[in-house]
């Protein structure tokens, strides 16, 4: 038995447990509240081989200062192949900037197609990942 003011384990929506140890949702919350993020358009759930795919890539900077020398690398990966894009520049204070667009024809390989987006600017590193499935779309 425990006293009313003793911490006790409970099922809840909290991101820290009764001993203030981070739960699995802690990292997701930290990432969602980060002052700088890199994002891309979400690809469709499924794509067909040969289909043209274009995703805009943005950096959101909620800091009160400019981020100089920012580099965004995007890698598309699928079974048996990959393709890379690189964008760079400056992101102003309190700005959302479209840094580029990723365009490609969907490869003929069926299976997963993922897009890894990585922002680096000095010690700052932010990542994001998007996935879709390459499949034959029925007529």
Q: Would you say residue 13 lies in a domain?
A: no
Q: Would you say residue 30 lies in a domain?
A: no
Q: Which long-range contacts (CB under 8 A, 24 or more apart) does 104-107 make?
A: 104/52, 104/53, 104/76, 105/50, 105/51, 105/52, 105/53, 106/47, 106/48, 106/49, 106/50, 106/51, 106/52, 106/53, 106/134, 107/49, 107/78, 107/80, 107/81, 107/134
The model's pTM is 0.82
Please report, for the domain that includes residue 54, its CATH number. 2.60.40.10
Residue 47: what pLDDT?
Answer: 96
Reported confidence tier of residue 5, pLDDT bands at 50, 70, 90: low
Q: Taking residues 12-34, what's their average pLDDT? A: 85
Q: Would you say residue 15 lies in a domain?
A: no
Which residues form the domain of 85?
35-134
Residue 89: what pLDDT?
Answer: 95
């Amino acid at each position: 038995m425990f006293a009313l003011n003793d911490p006790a384990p409970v099922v809840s929506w909290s991101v820290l447990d009764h001993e203030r140890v981070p739960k699995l949702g802690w990292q997701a919350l930290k990432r969602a509240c980060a002052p700088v993020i890199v994002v891309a358009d979400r690809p469709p759930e499924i794509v067909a081989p040969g289909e043209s795919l274009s995703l805009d890539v943005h950096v959101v900077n909620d800091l009160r200062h400019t981020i100089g020398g920012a580099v965004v690398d995007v890698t598309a990966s699928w079974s048996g192949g990959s393709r890379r894009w690189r964008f760079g520049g400056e992101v102003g204070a309190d700005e959302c900037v479209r840094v580029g667009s990723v365009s490609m024809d969907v490869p003929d390989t069926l299976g997963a197609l993922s897009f890894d987006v990585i922002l680096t600017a000095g010690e700052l590193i932010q990542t994001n990942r998007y996935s879709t499935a390459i499949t034959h779309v029925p007529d």
